[in-house]
Structure 1
Amino acid sequence: MSKFWHGTALAVSLSFMASSALASATHPLDGMTKEEYTIVVKTLKTADKLSDDGLFPLIEIVEPSKDFVLSWKKGEKIPRTARAVIKDGGKFYDATIDLNAEKLLSHDVAAGQGMILFDEFIGAMGLALSDERMIASLAKRGLTPDDVFCLPLTAGNFGVKEDQGRRLLKAPCYMNPTGSNFYALPIEGLFSVIDLNKNEVIDVVDIEVVPLPKDGWGYTDAEIEARYGLRKKNKPTIITQPSGNNITIENSVISWDMWRFHIRTDKRPGVVLSQIEVNDQAKWRSVLYQANLSEVFVPYMDPSEAWQWRTYMDSGEYGFGLFMSPLRPKVDCPAYATYMPARIHSDRGEAIEIPDAICIFERPKMAPAWRHFEIFAQSEISQIPAEGRAATELVVRYASEVGNYDYLIDYVFNEDGKINVQVGATGLDAVKGVAAVDVKSPTAEQDTRYGTLIAPNLVAPNHDHFFNFRFDFDVDGRDNTFFETKLVAQELPKESKRRSIWKPVMTWPKTEDVAKYRVNPSDPAMYHVGNMNVESGLGHKPHYMIMSENGVAYSPLDVENDMPIKRNAYIDYTYWVTPHDPKQRYAGGEFAF
């Protein structure tokens, strides 16, 4: 396609099993194999471009050109190139490696800083608690380092001159959990500032002593039962597939009903779907060349010193693929679902396989795909019953646990040709310690200016989750056009008994600056991507309509003067349509840290 669009909606361990990946790729868009990760490390070491202390924020496959992928035939040789972002000697490098030839193609200073590393995260936890200033601040609160843990978080970028080139984390602390909940006992008004390049704490910010929460608010069945008791369990609702499912998986290609697509996982976006096609019983027809998460922006709306910097880019800074977690049958997915692993890498460049990280399943919609009951077909002589078709859909799901939040992303394929992207957020609230124990407390009004009191001494601060997805449309081929259809009121002639109707009026944006849109129900419009060079049997041009079904369409925040918002200015519009550029993959930038 010539254009894609962005739609905005509203125990740290890598102890997973060693990868049992395929020995070689079977498709040009396949993710990295275990052997290929090994080749990356070996090639860089052989070229003397990786020291023993070198770490990898990112290793990913470099996709072949779209021309090659679309002309490739099964069994033909596949070019394999990897990109590696390396942290070595306090600097970041960007390298490409020919995996087939085991040859270093390029090695340059990176244009920015790579994602957070587990090695940095764990090291920062220890640094925070070893600083004498932190130890003294804890003592003011009757605590010792043995009583607490500190949670390093990305510090955001506010355009501060002296921070440029630094690699900063800020680490608020919590009392050690009394049960399952690691976030219920914040030590409010206290955090460390850590410079990862210097490997030292450069500041400890002690604002004020805030009363410490007392309840650990565990979330397991046993903990909830001890606190409140459990509700009576309902009789189970069970969906089964006694004859098996209708899903075909051949290596990395999934087929179901009229659909076929390629699937892989990458460390930053998580699941990447490619070459999404539909079969019209005569031939396979392309719909999307690629679909993936582009960025997740989570700005908190508390201006206090301990919270105003919390403006996380959960995909670009942390990695949705990195934090994918195993899915549980009967909880995360139906018992009958089919599961696939996710393949990523450790800081050292070793292959890591997360088991059961993706589930794929059919789901009855419990509603008709189509029905009709004809009242005029009912008589004493004959009766024609209602005619209809039960609707079923295919779901591709993964979950990413970034800190206290668990995100679930579904790609849903329907029998009528629709594709839905559905996002859910669950997990635990990020909480702020306060003095108020209820809304009648003397400090309650002050404590809840920017959040809601959800428990004694705990406020959940206001915040947003902006999800941005990248879709590269190839509707019936690559030569696609975007157009907008507005519903415009038309005044009717005086002789008409109607005074007005609406009619569709199409417009074609000529530049990127024009091709950005805010969905507004009071100003109805439809947005389309289609191929004007192809005709249906009736002479129509095939196209897909882009629809925002729910969620916040765009943000009221200041994208000009608020630096974290400016870095994520894509939230200012619902849709951005741009000419296709394979290097422009992420709305938050290639280097988001």
Structure 2
Amino acid sequence: MTAEATTTVDHPYDPLTAEEIHQAREILEAEQTIDEGYRYIKIVLEEPPKREIKDFEKNDTQIERKAFVILRDSNEKTNYEAVVSLDTEELTSIEERPDVQPSITLAEFDECEQTVKNNEEWREAASKRGVENFDLAIVDPWSVGHHLVPENVDRNRRLAHAMSWIRTSETDNGYARPLDGLHAWVDLDEMAVVKVLDRGTKVDDVVSDLEDAPYREEDRDLRDDLRPYNVDQPEGPSWEIDGRKIEWQNWHLRVGWTKREGLVLYNIGYEDDGEVRPIIHRASAAEMNVPYGDPDPNHNWKNAGDIGEYNIGRLANSLTEGCDCLGHMYYFDAVMNDVDGEVNVVPNAICVHEEDYGTLWKHTNWRTENSEVRRNRRLVVSFVATVGNYDYEFNWYFYQDGSIEPQVRLTGINSNGLVDSDEDPTSGYYEMLAPNVKGMVHQHFFNFRIDMEVGGEKNRLYRRQNQPVPKGPNKQIQWDGEEAVDDINPTGAAFYADKTPLETEKEARELINSLKGRYWQVEHVENTNRLDQPVGYKLVPGENVEAAAQQQSSVMERAGYIAYHLWATPHRDDERFPAGEYPNQNPGGDGLPKWTQQDRSLDGEDIVLWYTLGVNHVDRPEDWPVLPVHPASFKLEPVNFFSENPAIDVPPEHAIKDIHARREQKYDDPDTVAGSESDDD
């Protein structure tokens, strides 16, 4: 069962509607000459300053509705940023930005592919690899970075680095046969190939000599012993959704969307004793980077920033009932613009549903034989984006115990290359996926921007980690006039949870340390719980990895935010993206590394946490032809925020459904194997 989201605007953070995108374009074109050489990179909500939002929520003060527009003039090779007032229907400002490159658009993806396939030099090189039908080739325009562009290619041009593969049919796995060693650099303004480089072939005929790697349903023999699994919610879901506001199990949040970040969540709070207590003001995955470690010159340049360089929201999937989500779903559409400024809608881009997640809490009193157990149900707000060969699922889980888990699931098809008989498959730079096909070692980094307001905006940040105590006599004290020894750790087992304040931006640059149990805690400077402890939330790392690239590398220069797992800054409206506003073809230095050089105070400030989540990917044949989902996440958990376990009042299953009737119905079904399933009592 599904429900469609409304298109009304109820809050200043609600994304632009289709009508507003159309209106913004009309207003702009009424005051500016926009010819065919212009591309609308984005038409999005100009998010109001945080102070205005707070005033609106407190006093119902009206906020002017505005659109922010980025234009690329492909004839003049320059860019413009415009702000349009939708209320007064006028162009508020327009500014030229000549020295930056906006993100690559979907239209440029399509046009770049056809441009390369029509190029005679590329065709000649592809023919050497056994390609005869050029229509079956696929070409992916990778972002070029900055430092590894060939010397005879002007870095000031709007560029893409095109990589190619060949299919054997329209529907087969196009990434099974890489045209490795064949490179093309394309000017996306002129839509012209400016350089083709052929580094030579490693397989004489990739069409005949490489294997198929089918994955589609109709191309595989499927197992036939999997029985139906139905998620049944006959009384509907437990949430209430009004416009873009969700209420579920005491949680309150608003669902937003940007073309760059995709899913954005606002005003996350938890209702406690009738009061919605603030926890997070704004949260999103703000940037990502995928550096490759293989020194092979065909692949050593790869370092895509999929959010900032491609606009991952624009690459969102239309989610499918029964496949991407199970149970009762609620969908939000993603309303965006295309390069002509026309409205483009991705239906069902955001899915909201509930999941069972095992045991929430349990205790058995062995003396009375009483057992109390509660099932753990979580709310999922998610979207999925496909970036060329890779697919990324972004899930935000909300739990009944007051915790939040942002998660990324990585799947899709690995970027790959070819090897010949002279290469050493045990080098560690790559692993074999199939005969002659390698997957290069690489890392994925996702940076989450989390604008905290735990109990309000005045917060402090602490590092928490285990601290051992030296064994044996610790200090001398006086007792009745005689000296005595205070041995506070006679067994050597004592340790405590150290709490160190991180008072400035430079102090807050931190790496994880799971061996010490390190996590970070945000507390309010004034608000306390009934035990007189400051209310707080902690950020608990899960899987993570240190960046393997050298500090002097092009990777670290352009994506310096991956140098640390935790960053913290005082809130600024214009500090939104950890690699800067325009990372595409940027030489680097913008964003978090630049901002935190100021070493601003964090003590009692409106703190923004930036958490870098890293995944190390050493490929294996089990990742081929499609990578099984690899989940990676971290959690935000309450500390002294509540007076007791906030999930203590969750009812047991027998209180919300007739378990005995369900059991009788199940075993009356002749297709049910007795004893194969069980319900909780």
**Aligned residues: CA RMSD:** 2.2
Mapping 1:483-498, distance limit 5 Å: 483-491=462-470, 493-494=472-473, 495=487, 497-498=490-491
1:102 aligns with 2:86: no
1:307 aligns with 2:305: no
Task: Give, in angstroms, the shift of residue 190 of structure 1.
Answer: 0.8
**Aligned residue in 2 for 1:224:** 220
- Aligned with 2:453 (options 467, 471, 474): 474
1:361 aligns with 2:349: no
Partner amino acid, structure 2, of 1:510:
E
- Flag the 1:21–1:120 CA change in 2: closer, same or farther, 3 A: farther
Task: Give, in angstroms, the shift of residue 129 of structure 1.
Answer: 2.4
Partner Cα distance (1:30, 1:515) in 2 = 32
Partner amino acid, structure 2, of 1:562:
S
Partner Cα distance (2:437, 2:329) in 1 = 38
- Aligned with 1:83 (options 60, 68, 72): 68
**Aligned residue in 2 for 1:505:** 498
The question of whether the paired residues in 2 share the 8 Å contact of 1:58 and 1:115 is answered with: no
Mapping 1:290-439, distance limit 5 Å: 290-367=282-359, 369-375=360-366, 378=367, 383-435=368-420
Mapping 1:142-221, distance limit 5 Å: 142-144=130-132, 145-146=134-135, 148-158=137-147, 163-178=154-169, 179-211=171-203, 212=206, 213-221=209-217
Task: Give, in angstroms, the shift of residue 384 of structure 1.
Answer: 4.4
**Aligned residue in 2 for 1:39:** 23
Task: Give, in angstroms, the shift of residue 539 of structure 1.
Answer: 0.9
1:529 aligns with 2:522: yes
TM-score if structure 1 supplies the norm length? 0.89
- Flag the 1:218–1:448 CA change in 2: closer, same or farther, 3 A: farther
- Flag the 1:206–1:277 CA change in 2: closer, same or farther, 3 A: same
Partner amino acid, structure 2, of 1:158:
H
Task: Give, in angstroms, the shift of residue 486 of structure 1.
Answer: 3.1
1:244 aligns with 2:236: yes
The question of whether the paired residues in 1 share the 8 Å contact of 2:425 and 2:431 is answered with: no
**Aligned residue in 2 for 1:439:** none
Task: Give, in angstroms, the shift of residue 340 of structure 1.
Answer: 1.9
Mapping 1:13-52, distance limit 5 Å: 22=7, 24-52=8-36
Partner amino acid, structure 1, of 2:455:
D
Partner Cα distance (1:335, 1:522) in 2 = 39
Partner amino acid, structure 2, of 1:490:
V
**Aligned residue in 2 for 1:11:** none
Partner Cα distance (1:154, 1:177) in 2 = 27
Mapping 1:45-84, distance limit 5 Å: 45-73=29-57, 77-84=62-69
Partner Cα distance (1:42, 1:354) in 2 = 22
Partner Cα distance (1:289, 1:33) in 2 = 22
Partner Cα distance (1:138, 1:506) in 2 = 61
Partner Cα distance (1:590, 1:401) in 2 = 22
Partner Cα distance (2:190, 2:43) in 1 = 24
The range that moved more, 289-298 or 175-184, is 175-184
**Aligned residue in 2 for 1:262:** 254
Partner amino acid, structure 1, of 2:92:
L
The question of whether the paired residues in 1 share the 8 Å contact of 2:21 and 2:44 is answered with: no
Task: Give, in angstroms, the shift of residue 260 of structure 1.
Answer: 0.5
The question of whether the paired residues in 2 share the 8 Å contact of 1:29 and 1:63 is answered with: yes
Q: Describe the SS at the equivalent of 2:439.
A: strand
Task: Give, in angstroms, the shift of residue 50 of structure 1.
Answer: 2.4
Task: Give, in angstroms, the shift of residue 142 of structure 1.
Answer: 4.1
Task: Give, in angstroms, the shift of residue 37 of structure 1.
Answer: 0.8
1:117 aligns with 2:105: yes
Task: Give, in angstroms, the shift of residue 21 of structure 1.
Answer: 6.4
Partner amino acid, structure 2, of 1:503:
Y
Partner amino acid, structure 1, of 2:512:
V
Task: Give, in angstroms, the shift of residue 48 of structure 1.
Answer: 1.6
Q: Describe the SS at the equivalent of 1:170.
A: strand
Deviations 1:504-556 (A, max 9, x none): 3322223211111111122333311121111212211100000112232x313
Mapping 1:440-479, distance limit 5 Å: 442-443=421-422, 445=424, 450-479=429-458
Partner amino acid, structure 1, of 2:339:
D
Mapping 1:133-144, distance limit 5 Å: 133-144=121-132
The range that moved more, 58-67 or 271-280, is 58-67
Partner Cα distance (1:448, 1:454) in 2 = 15
Percentage of matched positions with identical amino acids: 27
Deviations 1:115-168 (A, max 9, x none): 102232222222212323223223333434345343222112217686442211
1:128 aligns with 2:116: yes
Partner Cα distance (1:354, 1:448) in 2 = 43
TM-score if structure 2 supplies the norm length? 0.78
Task: Give, in angstroms, the shift of residue 452 of structure 1.
Answer: 1.4
**Count of paired positions:** 555
Partner Cα distance (2:536, 2:375) in 1 = 25
Partner Cα distance (1:267, 1:301) in 2 = 30
Q: Describe the SS at the equivalent of 1:465.
A: strand
Task: Give, in angstroms, the shift of residue 449 of structure 1.
Answer: 5.2
The question of whether the paired residues in 1 share the 8 Å contact of 2:265 and 2:282 is answered with: yes
Partner amino acid, structure 2, of 1:104:
L
The question of whether the paired residues in 2 share the 8 Å contact of 1:82 and 1:96 is answered with: yes
Q: Describe the SS at the equivalent of 1:35.
A: helix
- Aligned with 1:539 (options 529, 532, 539): 532
Partner amino acid, structure 2, of 1:109:
E
Partner Cα distance (1:565, 1:491) in 2 = 39
Deviations 1:86-110 (A, max 9, x none): 0013211111111111211111122
- Flag the 1:222–1:420 CA change in 2: closer, same or farther, 3 A: same
The question of whether the paired residues in 1 share the 8 Å contact of 2:288 and 2:446 is answered with: yes
Partner Cα distance (1:543, 1:196) in 2 = 49
The question of whether the paired residues in 2 share the 8 Å contact of 1:486 and 1:524 is answered with: yes
Partner amino acid, structure 2, of 1:587:
P
Partner Cα distance (1:20, 1:41) in 2 = 24
- Flag the 1:526–1:187 CA change in 2: closer, same or farther, 3 A: closer
The question of whether the paired residues in 2 share the 8 Å contact of 1:298 and 1:312 is answered with: yes
Higher relative contact order (CA 8 A, sep 6+): 1
The question of whether the paired residues in 1 share the 8 Å contact of 2:251 and 2:271 is answered with: yes
Q: Describe the SS at the equivalent of 2:313.
A: coil
Partner Cα distance (1:136, 1:221) in 2 = 35
Structure 1, unpaired ranges of 5+: 1-18, 436-441
Task: Give, in angstroms, the shift of residue 406 of structure 1.
Answer: 1.0
- Aligned with 1:582 (options 544, 561, 573): 573
- Flag the 1:319–1:177 CA change in 2: closer, same or farther, 3 A: farther
**Aligned residue in 1 for 2:484:** none
Q: Describe the SS at the equivalent of 1:399.
A: strand
- Flag the 1:222–1:558 CA change in 2: closer, same or farther, 3 A: same
